[in-house]
Structure 1
């Protein structure tokens, strides 16, 4: 049969089938595969935390503890609050020239203990990175912590005094008072004052159960707030010298105080009277219940 004799309907059907097939191939060839979703697998690297800056070195006596914070009072009477955490290294020097160290727990950081603290600046706070103290003060720290020392193991009243739990002042007999004087507006100890303080400490050491109470005063120069601060600074300077230079133990020291221009010894209207009133009084006390033991 001749090809030209094919039915027109058959030719049309074949043409339509061929067009449909070619169109499907073209669509399959041009369609792109779906892109992978990478949004969930990419994250920007975290910024590294800034290292704490080195803070000042703090030297003084621990004057208060509350949780993980302690107050260190320096020789000039200024106080610094320092935080202590698990990363703080605490050690005591031992041996000749401080060679070798004992590692300590934070529980050894008791009130009255002289320390040197290296700090880090953390925001607006200071964090202790390293705390060191002298090995000779470990015995003192143990006495404070346990509330026992020398002859006081069996004496409840003296043990309470060693812990600094002072009762009313009228529970004590004043055995002696030593006054050391200061220049106007100053809290600097003179050579004579230093000599008098160590002599007082030596005398008190010879008394059974003696404690020291330190009270600072000013003359009438200056305002009330300034004089209060100055009297406290003078008292703090005397306490530090008695403990650090004269060897007086912290557990035998009652809480010092500043009285500004109260209780003057002399007339504040004269230069001579003012000179007498710029003083710190070191009172040697013995509990009335233990006096004479």
Structure 2
């Protein structure tokens, strides 16, 4: 739904309601009832307000909370290019929870889903060309179809998020490891992280992605909380470095115990799984494709076994 509230010779004040379908730094794309894509310009002064209950009022979470899949109402004014410069963006707590679940779920699997879709198409062509393999190919199609169906609702809700992410190249990442049960970033890791984001900030069209993880020791609720706190603490360091504006940071994702990179039966393996991964992604359309120079940073070594 798109509603124009008032207009003047200087600026046209407006309110837009719809679904966030993409982010590109300070530009946010919103699908409304009248337009498949309304460009919204975010600023560091833009307020991102989560609406609470009857007594809790509104909470300003910052523009990093504006992720694809979020239902929003945007108040602002149109610039000469008919792009809406946002003064404030409002959204409900339940919509934010859903959007973050979609964001956390799709970040690690969007490439897999796209790959599975390609495999499914290939398998269907094989069925037409090779009738003697119908039974085997049919079984594989069912397996891929079930997995794609499980992600179908999230893909539909974001309405183009995968296509948006496909416009980015991953240019480098840094991994921060943590002690058992802790979300405190060590000083050496803090220094390395600040160097990494300063290097990333020199690129055109970049976005910073932060994902927190936990090992599978302890209960699920504690691990989810730890992954969230670790991601949040790393995000705070990035913001305090002053090298990266808020509009270039995606909302931190608490990934819990997903994507374990080592065996949890050993202390060294658990130490590798207690981590935050910070990734810099660069827009292909701005940089001209995958030939742009990558950001590099040495990943800190896992905590020694004696420091568990």
TM-score w.r.t. the length of structure 2 is: 0.44
Whichever of the two has the greater Rg, that structure is: 1
Higher helix share: 2
TM-score w.r.t. the length of structure 1 is: 0.46
